[in-house]
């Protein structure tokens, strides 16, 4: 019984020491090919509690694929920046998506000073 108890404590100590590392939820990549010109898209009337995300070209299957505009549920403490392709250093980068409202890295629902970007 004593050996079993010591074995359980040793296993628990090893499991606690081997915590998984935090993984990024996005992937950075760069392209040498410019996206095509975006087609005209009719923007629908506003809907309460939702944010319109305009359509954009996404890189899938080694080519640009048009992703049509859609409604996203509003996220308190964030604002939506439309997706766009940025040309920098001869390469194209995808930018945009949900951003922290005061850009301090802490969403407003967990921020002690939600409208002050200098206070964390």
Query: Is the residue at 34 inside a domain?
Result: yes
Residue 1 lies in a domain: no
Hunting for tokens 């296993």 — which residue is that?
11
pLDDT per position as a tens digit, 20-47 = 444 445 566 678 888 999 899 999 999 9
How far apart are alpha carbons 53 and 43 in whole angstroms?
Answer: 9
Residue 18: what pLDDT? 47
pLDDT band at 67 (very low <50, low <70, confident <90, very high): very high
Mean pLDDT of the chain: 78
Decide if 114 contacts 79 (C-beta within 8 A).
Answer: no
Kindly state whether residue 72 falls inside one of the protein's structural domains: yes
Q: Assess if residue 41 is contained within a domain.
A: yes
10 Å CB burial of residue 57 (0-12, 13-18, 19+) is buried
Number of domains making up the chain: 1
- Examine residue 17 and state whether it is found in any structural domain, yes or no: no
Quick check: is 16 in a domain?
no
Q: Examine residue 69 and state whether it is found in any structural domain, yes or no.
A: yes
**What pLDDT was estimated at residue 110?**
73
Which residues, in sequence order, are CB contacts of 23 under 8 Å at separation 6+? none
Residue 56 lies in a domain: yes
- Enclosing domain of residue 64: 26-110
CB 65 within 8 A of CB 102: no
């Amino acid at each position: 019984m004593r050996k079993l108890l010591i074995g359980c404590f040793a296993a628990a100590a090893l499991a606690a020491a081997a915590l998984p590392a935090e993984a990024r939820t996005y992937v950075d990549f760069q392209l040498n090919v410019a996206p095509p010109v975006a087609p005209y898209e009719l923007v629908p009337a506003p809907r309460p509690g939702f944010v319109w995300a305009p359509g954009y070209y996404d890189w899938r299957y080694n080519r640009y694929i048009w992703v049509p505009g859609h409604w996203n549920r509003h996220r308190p403490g964030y604002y939506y920046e439309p997706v766009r392709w940025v040309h920098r250093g001869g390469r194209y980068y995808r930018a945009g998506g949900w951003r922290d409202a005061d850009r301090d890295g802490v969403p407003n629902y967990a921020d002690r000073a939600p409208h002050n970007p200098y206070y964390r």
